[in-house]
Structure 1
Amino acid sequence: MTRTLEICVDSPAGLAAAVEGGADRIELCSALALGGLTPTQGLIHLAARAPIPVVAMIRPRAGGFDWSEDEVLAMEVEIAAVARAGLAGVVIGATRSGAGTVTLDLPVLQRLVAAAKGLDLTLHRCIDLIEDAFEAIDQAAELGISRILSSGGALSAVEGIARLQEMSAHAAGRLSIMPGAGISAAALPGLLAALDPSDVHASASQPDPGTGAIARFGFQTEAARRTDAATVAGLKRLLDDHKGRP
């Protein structure tokens, strides 16, 4: 089985480092410190020249995934811009909260899928807020989504291994369950042994807190990180060396 290493980036330098390190696919974002927002037009333009597939996050603001009508309209415009630029796909998600439960917002997702016709589709970690992940998997498969990024409802994929196993079994090849969150060289071998996934998502980043006036004036947060080519390469080697299940 061919395994795909997807690296999330939010800057031109991150884009270059992911390619240099041997990533198979890029998730293009802005503001990774906020979980990833829609990338800028300039970054989309640069990514269109990358030698590997690039999928763009479509998320107009930080916070949850219950979208207003104006936010849905904004996302439809953002998807159109990604399509015009020639990127491979988009990363989408929408939830509906009520009566103490969170479910996928199917009417909104249907609109986003229609706007993204012809593009590769990933459902992002909004699924980790949903109690009935199995129903969400069924709905995502019906919508034509290729993969679901998830930490198994936990803060990291390592903590969510049991649920990720159940999700993968339930998906039964209809789409890929792609583990993400806290993927490091130390964590990856155990994840591969437990899940044998076709896709793995990571930031492959190192701390980049900023110094001096840049940090003092708030132009960069202490939580900031930067994509590291050597870390990407190390994850890629582990992925390629994994034998997988017989």
Structure 2
Amino acid sequence: MGKEISINGYELEICSNSPQSACYAAKGGATRVELCQNLENGGTTPSYGQIVQTRRLVDIGIHVLIRPRGGDFVYSDLEFEEILADIQFCKKEGCDGVVIGVMCKDGTVDVKRTKALVEAARPMHVTFHRAFDKCADPFTSLDVLIGLGIDRVLTSGLQNRAEDAVALLKQLVAHAAGRIVIMPGAGVDSSNMEMILKATGVTAIHSSAKETISSQMIFDRAEVAGMNEPIFSTSKEKVHQLVDILKKE
């Protein structure tokens, strides 16, 4: 298990898409990482090797995104069994938490399945991810998650970027009243984090702090499309910038 740390009373979670990115996040001073892969598609469950390597290399908290595919958050029975199996593996490997999100077709939280996932995950921490931003009623959904014992909600305030939803985020913090952590994410960086913190009153923040890495290939076969695209990586320098801001708050 990773050590629980805070930065001047704040949690800084960095979304990292590889063991290398997780190392950069830790060296930059992050509280924990949300480990995923396929960040270009919003993030999916990391591989066995990524989870094992990250746990071996990183001593801060590791919360693993459990999302079997891109697209919506309405899952088949087979997909749900896959989610359960991934949660059990994360527990076995000493991860600190999992990040889940299961919805019904009508925009409500899938209570039965979420309850089963929370029970399977304990004693790990459980975060409900940005599936929340597709809900029909944020306050009703928040009450449901509180009742299910979810520890925190990662949300952009039902907008594409958290900075555009500070009014709702502040209302969610007030509605939560300390019963669940509201953690803004999506488009959070050094240019807007301080504003989001002050405008909403949150004490946890989520950022990818990413940079774009161009292909290392010198030779390219123009006849074959793709397989040479830029990739994302956590930037240790960008994490440092966020940490420095939090230390001054």
Report the TM range for the smaller structure's normalisation.
Answer: over 0.9
Q: Secondary structure at the match of 2:78?
A: helix
Measured in 2, the distance between the counterparts of 1:47 and 1:214 equals 34
Q: What do you get for the CA RMSD once the two structures are aligned?
A: 1.6
Per-residue deviation at 1:236? 0.8
Q: How does 1:104-183 map to 2 (within 5 A)?
A: 104-183=109-188
Per-residue deviation at 1:196? 2.6
Alignment-derived partner of residue 90 in structure 2: 82
Q: Secondary structure at the match of 1:158?
A: helix
Q: Secondary structure at the match of 2:49?
A: helix
Unaligned runs of 5+ in 1: none
Alignment-derived partner of residue 237 in structure 2: 230
Per-residue deviation at 1:47? 1.9
Per-residue deviation at 1:221? 3.5
Structure 1 residues 184 and 78, CA gap change in structure 2 (3 angstroms): same
Q: TM-score, normalised by structure 1?
A: 0.92
- How many pairs does the alignment contain? 238
Q: TM-score, normalised by structure 2?
A: 0.91
1:2 pairs with one of 2, 5, 9 = 9
Alignment-derived partner of residue 202 in structure 1: 207
Measured in 2, the distance between the counterparts of 1:189 and 1:2 equals 14
Q: 1:47 touches 1:87 (CA, 8 Å); kept in 2?
A: no
Q: For residues 175-232 of structure 1, give each alpha carbon's deviation from its aligned partner in whole angstroms, at most 9, with x where no partner exists.
A: 110000001111111111101311100000112242653996523545x321100100
Q: For residues 79-117 of structure 1, give each alpha carbon's deviation from its aligned partner in whole angstroms, at most 9, with x where no partner exists.
A: 01000000001000101113xxx1111111111112112
Which consecutive segments of 4 or more residues in structure 1 shift more than 4 A?
214-217
Q: How does 1:88-103 map to 2 (within 5 A)?
A: 88-98=96-106, 102-103=107-108
1:70 pairs with one of 74, 78, 89 = 78
Measured in 2, the distance between the counterparts of 1:77 and 1:5 equals 28
Q: For residues 152-187 of structure 1, give each alpha carbon's deviation from its aligned partner in whole angstroms, at most 9, with x where no partner exists.
A: 000000011111111111111001100000011111
1:192 aligns with 2:197: yes
Q: For residues 16-43 of structure 1, give each alpha carbon's deviation from its aligned partner in whole angstroms, at most 9, with x where no partner exists.
A: 1101100111100011111111111111
More off after superposition, 25-34 vs 203-212 = 203-212
Unaligned runs of 5+ in 2: 1-7
Measured in 2, the distance between the counterparts of 1:41 and 1:52 equals 19
Alignment-derived partner of residue 23 in structure 1: 30
- Partner letter of residue 73 of structure 2? F
Q: Secondary structure at the match of 1:139?
A: helix
- Partner letter of residue 120 of structure 2? A
Per-residue deviation at 1:64? 0.5
